[in-house]
Structure 1
C-alpha cells in the first residue's frame, strides 16, 4: 500500500494535490490580469463595446492577407493593443472569435511574446537595453536611474510598470529589454520601438522628461516618434492612405556612421571579400550494416 505525498513526486505514491504552489519569484500578474483588470471580464463586457465595426473591418483585412486565417494572429494582437494599449482578456476573446480559435490558443501566443503586454501601458513604452554590451556600457545604470526618476528612491518603478495613469498623456511604461540589435551604438533605448542611441543617464532622464511634458523628441534613427498605440497600429500593418502623410509617418534615417564604418573603410581601401571556390564535400563513412 502506498502513502500519499504533499506534492507530486516520482514513483507510485499518490499526492494530496496535483500542483506545487508558485514561489515568490513567479510573476503571476504577468500571465493573468489582477482583480481590478479582471473586473470587466467577470462582467462579460460585450466585445462590440470595445472593438467597433472599424476594428472588425481591419481584423478581416488582416485575415484576407494570409492563405490560412490563423496566420493573422500576431498582427491582430498588435491591432488589439492599438485599441486598448495592451492585450486584455476581451482582446484575446476578440482574436479567437475572428480567427475561429480557442481563447487558450490565443493566450498561448499572447503570453509567449514580451511585445504583447498583459497590463495597460502608458502613452509611451520606454525600453532600456540591459543585455551584455549595453549593460557594460551603462545600460544597467541608465535603467536604475530611470527607475528612481520615474518612481522614487524608496519605491523604484519596476519592470513593465507605469509612471502616471496608463493610456493617459505623459504616462510612461518602463521595461528592461533584451538585445535591441544595436551593439555598435550602445547603450541604447527604444521609445515605442524607435531608437535613441549612445545614451547616458542624463540623456535618458531628459528624454523621459520630454515625453512626460508632451513632447516627441526625434529618434536617432527610424521614423518620427508616435505614441504606443500608434506604433502598434503600424506594427499591425495599417498606415495612412495619403502618400504624403504615409511618408511623413514612416520615413527617417535608418543607418548610422558607426554601423557603416567597416564598409566605408573597405570601400576607401579597395578591400573586397575573397571569392569562395567550390570545395567538394568529404565522403561520409558508411554506417555499420548499411548497404554500399
Structure 2
C-alpha cells in the first residue's frame, strides 16, 4: 500500500501493514514501490508503518530496517529517504551508523517521548525511563550533531502531578527538540487508563499544554537560530507561502525563499537569513557550498 502526501515530491511507503503481529513487506516489494514513485518524479519517500523499527522481525530469515534502507540508497533518482516515527528502543546503533554515513537518509528522527516522568512512563507501560531516553538523545547527537529531533508528548495522563509535569518540562529542555507535538490526554473507552484513578482536570491539562507548547516554540526558535548563515538543502514543494517558495531541509526545517516555479520538486541550496518559531527564510544559492554528509 502506498499513501501519497500533500507534496508532489514526497510519498509514503507503508512497510509493515497492520496492528497486532508485525507483517513486513518484502524488501524487493519496497524497492519496487520506491522505483515506481521515482519514475513518477518523486524525489523523497517516507518509510512508515506500525512499529517501524520492528520491521523484518517476522521474516525468515529475520532482517532489520537497515536492509531496505541500504537497497533504497541504490535507487538512481531517489534523493531522500525519511523515516517516520520510531520508538526509542527501535533506534539501534546500526540504524544510527547508517543514518550518519548516508547521503540519502534524512538527518531527522521523530521519537515518541510521551512523558518526561519515569513514573508516568511506567503507568503508560512504556519500556524506557526518562534517563534512558536522554541517553539515547546523546548518542543520536554524537552520531548526527545537526539532527532534527521531533517528538510527541501526552499531557495530563492519569496520575500526572505538577512534579511529574515539571519532570517532562526538564526532559524536553534537555532533549532540545526541534519541533514538539503536544496532546492533552483524553480517555478512550475500554482502555485501562480510562479507569485509572486520579484523572487530571481538563483545565489543568489545558494549562500544562499551553506551557509545554510555549516551551516547544522556544526550542524550535533556538534550533532555527543555530542555522543562521548556514546552508540548507531544501526540497521545494508545490504550494507557495506568502509568495515565497517553501520546502523542507533534510533535518526538517521548513524553509521559505524567493525563486522561480521551475525550482518546484528540486533540491536547492538556501542560506538562512532570518528565523521564526515555525520556519526560516533564506536566499537561494547557485551551487552547494558544502558537501553532503560522510562519503
TM-score (norm 2): 0.24
Q: Greater Rg, structure 1 or structure 2?
A: 1
Higher strand share: 2
